Amino acid sequence: MGQLGIENANEQIKKTLEIDPWLEPFSGAIKERISKFGKTKGILEQNEGSLYDFSLSYQKYGLHADWETGVIYGSEYVPNVEEVSLVGEFNNWDPQSHKFERANGMGLWSINIPPTANKEFAIPHDSKIKLAMVLPSGERIYRLSPWLTRATQEKDVPVFDGRFWNPVKADRYAFKYPRPMLGDSQGLRVYEAHVGISSPMPTIASYKHFTKNVLPLIHRLGYNTIQLMAVMEHAYYASFGYQITSFFAISSRYGTPEDLKELVDEAHKLGIIVLLDVVHSHASKNVDDGLNMFNGTDHYLFHGGKKGMHELWDSRLFNYGDYETLRFLLSNLHFYVDTYGFDGFRFDGVTSMLYKHHGIGYGFSGGYHEYFDENLIDSDAITYFMLAHTLMREIGDRERIRLYSVAEDVSGMPTLCLPLSIGGIGFDYRLSMAIPDMWIKLLKHSRDEDWDLGSICFTLTNRRYKEKCIGYCESHDQALVGDKSIAFWLMDKEMYTNMSTLTPLTPVVDRGIALHKLIRLLTFSLGGEAYLNFEGNEFGHPEWLDFPRVGNGESFHYARRQFNLVEDDLLRYKFLFNFDASMQHLDSKYNILNSPQAYISLKHEGDKVVVFERNGLLFIFNFHPTKSYVDYKVGVDTPGVYQIVLNSDRSEYGGHNRIEEFNPSTGKPLEFFTQNEPWNDRRNSLMCYIPTRTAIVLQLKEKIV
């Protein structure tokens, strides 16, 4: 590292070491990270003009149509081949008629196809196309372009066809609404969704169905963010979108590119930002319609040999140190922001990318050496993430938009969610993956009367200082077949028989509904600076998620979300839906999530009571299965008059209306007055009634000095 580089790195990590002094012994590794990123960024900027320009390669690579001249043009990076041709329905698949020319000696090929005699494009819109290549051995192979923006699959045909997507102007979707700009005080309330399963019908739902039927529900619930899963084209539907074949094509199972643009635009109209689940951690092994062996070699964009294989996922691994791989992946991000209007990304499989061992068979103890050992860390992947976040900031600055990033990382790597400017990797949020594991473990192995509230609160608040987290009880991982959702763990014995309001409320369902609410509210208010829910789980969806496959007779019965259950007034699912909506709107009003961590004043193992304050609200939970408490004293710091703003025991949430919220004589909200008596390390206290398995949230109405 040059002297200037050392000085810059020293200055950058100064604030990081102030945040976490325990990183001091590893400051050298952080400086090396900064230096490598700076060198790579410098090379790209020198060669390409800027990182922004580099990421616009999607406008040159692949095929494009010039509507003024009628010319179709494009480029492809195909090293180690003798010839490249474009074939398709337009030329009867003749590899001799439309050949690419060598654009340089580095594997770049280009083509220009003039219009027909009728001044029409030579390749009709949505017609089938492929690349034909001749290898040094003389063998001719056929592949789909890596930059292809449309791929479709005919019924009972396993291989996808490439398509030339070029609709006339009248058929192209034009964005109508500006991107929502969330305020700095707002945390993300994320609704994780999969378009294909978003209908009650046993079929693959469409983008249009989601736009018309699911977006209004998400808006009604109060979520300000949608995280769309399984959008990038994947050959195997049951992979949940994790075996990508065409990175620039969106899944044709759900509709057209114009349909997806409409979905994102309508979400923006409702004030909802949309994140894309982007899978840059690995790629499908498919050859005929994927990237694998694209040019006849095993190292096109990937590591060659064993290093390029993910043993557990049976997929290919990118070489993040390769120049053209960086072009491909960074352009992929810019493409989805520009073409479809996405507002950021949830990066899948970050742990696999960060470490050479990919997390396979490796248990992280939390020791810092595990995160900075050069024998364990993939420094090229870290550089890629730093470049990706630099690019996102550049796009944001140029286009005056805000882009968000979320890391799916189980390792807990320090600095992952710190800004690049102080030596961090740049993510905005990481998923708190230990929280759902904790809840499922408790529900599997413990009675709720035996739950250790101190341990629960520790897990919910155990996150790195100044590094934001997304707390969640369950995501799609817990909904998949082989596991159970929280609602199913709580009530599976009676979910098909006793969820009707026409039948008596049983102890099992009563307990299940009560704990479902408490688990969610506790996680929501303690677990992070943002919150995530997987679609359907907010109302206790009665079934797991299982995609059609050989093992279930290719059935769609469990590959759906039964939103119709919420609209049935005779079913109890509506209670959980209503509570989830109130929880989201509580944050939209009081900005709980994106505020400093809560101060927990009480974790009483005998009473099973938890009390804490966060951003001016007082949260009181009673997890006891049988005991209710009258005039229970709780500590609160700010003196004054308090009122209930959320009460899980309301009848509209499936509760028993045991808590009076209004003065019966005046009809005004009941008031709680603090006493000038310190309690549980808080300067004041108040008394409240807190029934069994109930939570209440109080807000300071009037401060008393």
pLDDT digits over 508-555, tens only?
999 999 999 999 999 999 999 999 999 999 999 988 889 999 889 999
E-assigned strand segments in 336-412: 344-347, 404-407
Distance of CA 430 to the CA centre of its chain: 10
Indicate which residues carry an active-site annotation. 348, 408
* 3-class secondary-structure state, position 549: coil
User: How far lies 76's CA from each of 51, 84, 95, 103, in Å?
Assistant: 20, 9, 16, 9
pLDDT band of 277, cuts 50, 70, 90 = very high
- Pure H helices in 49-130: 51-54
Q: Which contacts qualify for 535-538: CB closer than 8 Å, 24 or more apart?
A: 535/191, 535/192, 535/193, 535/194, 535/197, 535/198, 535/214, 535/561, 536/479, 536/561, 536/562, 536/563, 537/473, 537/474, 537/479, 537/485, 537/486, 537/487, 538/221, 538/576, 538/577, 538/580
What's the sign of the alpha-carbon dihedral 658, 664, 668, 670? negative
pTM over 0.85: yes
pLDDT band of 6, cuts 50, 70, 90 = low
pLDDT at 3 over 60: no
Rounded CA separation 623/449 (Å): 8
What's the sign of the alpha-carbon dihedral 664, 669, 673, 674? positive
Encode 293-317 in three state secondary structure: CCCCCCCCCECCHHHHEECCCCEEC
Which backbone phi and psi does 576 adopt, to 5 degrees? Answer: -70, -40
E-assigned strand segments in 382-535: 404-407, 429-431, 469-471, 530-534
- Which CATH code is given to the segment(s) 599-703? 2.60.40.1180
**Tokens, residue 327:** 């072009």
- Architecture of the 56-171 domain: Sandwich (2.60)
pLDDT at 2 over 80: no
Rounded CA separation 521/490 (Å): 16
Query: How many Cα atoms are found within 13 Å in the side-chain-facing hemisphere of 340?
Result: 29
Percentage of the residues of the chain whose pLDDT score is greater than 90: 91
**Are the CB atoms for 649 and 628 separated by under 8 Å?**
no
State the pLDDT at residue 5.
52
Mean pLDDT for the stretch of residues 408-422: 96
What dihedral angle (degrees, nearest 10) is formed by the CA atoms of 393, 397, 402, 405? -10
Q: 454-496: per-residue pLDDT in tens?
A: 999 999 999 999 999 999 999 988 877 667 889 999 999 899 9
* 3-class secondary-structure state, position 274: strand
- Architecture of the 189-590 domain: Alpha-Beta Barrel (3.20)
Region of 402 please: left (phi>0), alpha (psi -120 to 50) or beta: beta
State the pLDDT at residue 483.
74
pLDDT at 1 over 60: no
- 189-590 and 599-703 in the same fold: no
Task: Report the DSSP pairing between strands 128-134 and 640-647.
Answer: unpaired
Nearest to 285 by CA among 275, 276, 269, 298: 298
**Are the CB atoms for 677 and 613 separated by under 8 Å?**
no
pLDDT band of 366, cuts 50, 70, 90 = confident
* 3-class secondary-structure state, position 692: coil
E-assigned strand segments in 434-529: 469-471
Domain ranges within the chain, ordered by starting residue: 3-53, 56-171, 189-590, 599-703
Mean pLDDT for the stretch of residues 631-642: 97
Rounded CA separation 24/10 (Å): 11
Q: Which contacts qualify for 489-493: CB closer than 8 Å, 24 or more apart?
A: 489/440, 489/443, 489/444, 490/443, 490/515, 490/516, 491/540
Find all residues with CB under 8 Å of 371, minimum gap 6, and list them. 26, 377, 411, 413, 414
Which backbone phi and psi does 101 adopt, to 5 degrees? Answer: -110, 150
Rounded CA separation 253/297 (Å): 30
